[in-house]
Amino acid sequence: MMHNTVGWHVEMEFEEDDQHTRAAALVRLPDGSEVRGRGRASRHRTDSNQPRVGEEIAAARALNDIAMSLLTKAHEEIDQASGRASHPIHV
C-alpha cells in the first residue's frame, strides 16, 4: 500500500473594530483551484473586549463556509465522473 502526503495551504485575514470581527479564509488546493469562505463575529456591548475570541469565532465560521463549499465541489466532481447524482451528507 502506497501513502501520499498532500498539503493544503490556508490563509486567514481579519478586519476588526470594537464590536465586530470579519474573517476571510482561502484554501489553495493542489490542482491550483481556490476555495474562499467568510465568517463574522459580533461582541455584545456588555461582553469584555477579547479580540482573539472574536477572531476564533469568525475564523471557525469562515472555515465552516469553506467546508460546505468543499463538500459541494466534491459532490459535483463525483456526479460529473459517475454520471449520476450523489447525495451529500452535511454534518
1 domain-assigned = no
Q: What confidence score (pLDDT) does residue 88 get?
A: 65
Q: How many structural domains compose the chain?
A: 1
Determine, yes or no, domain membership for 87.
no
Distances (CA, A) of 75 to 6, 9, 71, 82: 20, 22, 6, 10
pLDDT tens, residue order, the chain (91 aa): 888 888 898 999 999 998 999 999 999 998 889 999 999 999 988 888 888 999 999 999 999 999 999 998 888 888 888 888 877 665 5
Give me the domain span that covers residue 55: 9-82
Q: Rounded CA gap, 57 and 60, in Å?
A: 5
CA 39 from centre of chain: 8
Asked if residue 88 belongs to a domain, the reply is: no
pLDDT at residue 22 in the model = 98
Q: What is the CATH number of the domain that holds 21?
A: 3.30.160.240
Answer yes or no: is 23 within a domain: yes
Give the tens place of pLDDT for each residue, 29-49.
Answer: 988 899 999 999 999 888 888
